[in-house]
Amino acid sequence: MAAAGAAGEWPRDPQPPGRTLFEKILASGRPDSETHLVWRGEKVFAMLNRFPYSTGHVLVVPYRPVADLEDLNSAERRELWDAVADAVSAIKAAFEPDGMNVGLNLGAGAGPSVPDHLHVHVLPRWRSDTNFMTAVADVRVLPLTLQDAWERLRATWPP
């Protein structure tokens, strides 16, 4: 595994031989508070997106790196969707959003950032979260740090 760069920065090679970005994060040995893993299940885990569209943007990821939904076994599929529902509940409790987006980007044409390891995006939305900063400058303004969002989600994640 390649070493991390500056403090808190992940290596820029998102797909080193034999490992996906998510496998690399899991194998880093860093504590959940640094990797922003919110929850660990038997087959899947949930973590904050390091480059979120909005505060509280969670990724639900199977441990096993598969690219397509149909490649998940039934136990992985069940736990994945249960974890997505838990993420929705935790986000609603932690941030009281006006709405939610839940989705996947499967296949190169869909534009996934990690195409070889599927992950479900679960993110809160507010009526005012699309403004000139995002539309004109492609900049997002986040009212909380990742650490603050991680602490809120850990506190509200269903048991």
Catalytic residues: 119
DSSP 127: T
Rounded CA-CA distance 106/79 in Å is 19
Strand order in the sheet with 37-40: 37-40, 44-48, 58-62, 120-125, 99-103
Rounded Cα distance, 122 and 38, in Å: 13
Distance (Å) of CA 18 to CA 2, 14, 22, 117: 12, 11, 12, 12
Distance between CA atoms of residues 133 and 136, nearest Å: 6
| Residue 143 to residue 113: CA distance in whole angstroms | 24
Length of the chain, in residues: 159
